[in-house]
Amino acid sequence: MNFLSNMTNLTYAEEPSQIHELQSLVNANSKSLLLNFPSIPLSQPIYGCSEINGQFQFGLSPDFDKKLLSKHDIPTYEAISDILTETSNLYSTHVNVIDKQPVVKRLFGVYLENGLIGLCEEIVNSKPNQQIPNILKTVSSGLIKIIDAINGPFNPLMLSKKEHEMNFAFIKGSNWKSSLIHAFQWHPHCNKYAVAFKNDIVKVYSNKQGHAILKHQNQVNITCLAWKPFYSSIIAVGCANAIIIWDTDSSTVSLKPSSSCSFVLSKRYHNDIMDIQWYPKSDFLLSVASKDNEIIIWDVTLKSCVPVKRIGNTGFSLARFSPNGFKLFTADLSTSFRIWKPTNYTSEKWINLYSRCNAACWSPDGSILLFTCDDCPLLYSLRFLNSEKQELEVVCDLSSISLFENMNDQSQIDTSAISRYTIGGSINDMSWDPTGQRLAISFKKKTTDSHINVVAIFLTKFQPQFQVLPCGFVNDMENAFPVNLSFKPEFESGALLTISWSNSRIQHVPFYFNRIVDDYGAPQTITSLSCY
């Protein structure tokens, strides 16, 4: 499938829906599904948990996680203090190497890679010890202002620095900025994962390879990670104003980052990158940004890009390819989203949501899209029928409930101590496992100390109709906030959920069940890739 064909004169088949009215109807006539969940154990500390055929098992031993890692050969995760110490020295070495290059040679390299505007920005942002004349900085600053003045009317999303910081915090949330972990991503075929930390360091964990540490001077405010399909070592790191492409197989990457194992993709005004997605069956990378109303498709091999024009003057917050690549979901910062056909990039637009869409995931066969809205406790589904018609439904209400309401045996509980605690509420994130049988949902953090941060686990069934059934809760002993939810793409025993908590803890929750033979066909087997 050619990504770059038919990219001009796009047409739009816009089909509005009445999601806002459905919201009011459900709120008046429904109860929170969280009332039907098993109780959270409070009598003793819980060090981990697992699920066997729908029944939760809680680990009471401190070495629960250690035994789990050994049993399933899960890569060992190191303490964040070690990472900060290692990479601080590592990056200092890298910067010194760059600064020692001749000025003319370094600036010429920047010009070849980023063009005139990139060269001007490099000169303006240079440090005093890099020997750049002040007159050159003044001229470069003037050129940038002229270019911005010319392009400003065509880019309604240009923001001041203060507005930029407010916009970024608004979309990602204030809790994300203070969290020690900012992003997590399992490799789609190999037994390894990558973690992005608050100090803009990415570390790749693997039991069979040395842990790779990734740091780049343009790697600032990391928002997302994406492993390249069918490649064991290439990962894209989405940052505030650039995308860094790394080859983690390089023998030098664990010793010192250099230009030989990474390169930068950037485009003027494509700032505050919110999501990056590799197309499932090609070498193209898609990115969306909150300060750009265009979808950008990158030819990573040629380091070039093509924008997809879109009607509207708002940026994006999400992009999700369906597993088969036949559909693309994008959510903007208004109350609408689009479903695209990547063959020609025509789209259908859905409007009048309760608020902006803040989370979405596809079923394994791409027939169902689950999505949620900001500050809303409802889970929606959009089903794609064989007749090319679509059905929109409200799956369930996950409104906040008191912990006392969730207790199975209330007669033996001190209600005065329990009744003030709450769980659930506005949905923050969600992830659907590759078998389509487990769904994990996290909730927006509340400012009150009486709210317990949990991840709700659901059983999902497709026959005779689509159902979402309660399974159990997962929470952190320190009441940390779940930053990221990610299912391991391949797990023979059922499904493996990885939760990244705001206190830097990474928790693995295994689900043991027999896979149901479904209509999507057997999972694709990778036979030509050597993975570690």
**pLDDT at residue 443 tops 80:** yes
Of 338, 286, 245, the C-alpha closest to 4 is: 286
What distance, in Å, lies between the first and last C-alpha atoms of the chain?
Answer: 29
On whether the CB atoms of residues 149 and 156 are closer than 8 A, the answer is no
- Using the predicted structure, report yes or no on whether residue 95 has a pLDDT greater than 70: no
Amino acid 149: pLDDT: 67
Please tell me whether the overall predicted TM-score, pTM, comes out greater than 0.85 for this model: no
Residue 288 Ramachandran class (φ > 0 left, ψ -120 to 50 alpha, else beta): beta
Of 233, 227, 201, 195, the residue nearest 216 (C-alpha): 201
Stretch 314-329: mean pLDDT: 91
Q: List, in order, residues 6 or more apart from 422 with CB less than 8 Å away.
A: 400, 401, 402, 403, 446, 448, 450, 451, 452
Mean predicted confidence (pLDDT) in 130-148: 77
Confidence of residue 169 (pLDDT cuts 50, 70, 90): low
| Rounded Cα–Cα distance for residues 343 and 337 (Å) | 19
User: pLDDT above 70 covers what percent of the chain?
Assistant: 73
pLDDT in tens, 391-431: 888 999 999 998 765 555 544 445 555 557 889 999 999 99
What are 251-274's pLDDT values in tens digits? 555 544 455 788 899 887 788 899
* pLDDT tens digits, 4-20: 443 333 333 344 333 33
